Amino acid sequence: MLSAQSLKEIDTELAKYPADQRRSAVMGALRIAQVEKGWLAPETIAFVADYIGIPAAQAYEVATFYNMYNLEPVGKYKLTVCTNLPCALRGGVDAGEYLKQKLGIGYGETTSDGLYTLIEGECMGACGDAPVMLVNNHSMCSFMTEEAIEKKLAELK
């Protein structure tokens, strides 16, 4: 189900916790699986749960609670735009609207070429850099003006 490299990375996560607290590694293990697969299918979540030795329901609880986990296929680049108040006051809503127009999709949609999925996100804790956008849950982009968005999209192609 997962590559040997991903299993090795999960083993590294598991080693961080006492043997009787393997459940603590579930967030890291799900992240590793998602990086490899692109999203978390139900069978992937169940596999991860089995591998770390917890009931599948516990892994599902985590995967469905946090919005960083993709429970359905997403584009190659998942763009999450913060529209909470601090970002909204500094152009977050405008950045989201610009991306919708530029990509021809709405929030929660993926471009027809499978390249981009656009998500409206919650606070990312970078209010001083507003508006912010997160690319694939890993790369924070600050001060997302229309020009900055154009530059980022060009880099991603």
Binding residues: 82, 87, 123, 127
* Residue ranges at the known binding site for [2Fe-2S] cluster: 82, 87, 123, 127
- The DSSP result for 57-118, as a single string, is HHHHHHHHH-TTS-SS---SEEEEEE-SHHHHHTTHHHHHHHHHHHHT--TTEE-TTSSEEE
Q: At what angle do helices 146-156 and 92-103 cross, to 10 degrees?
A: 50
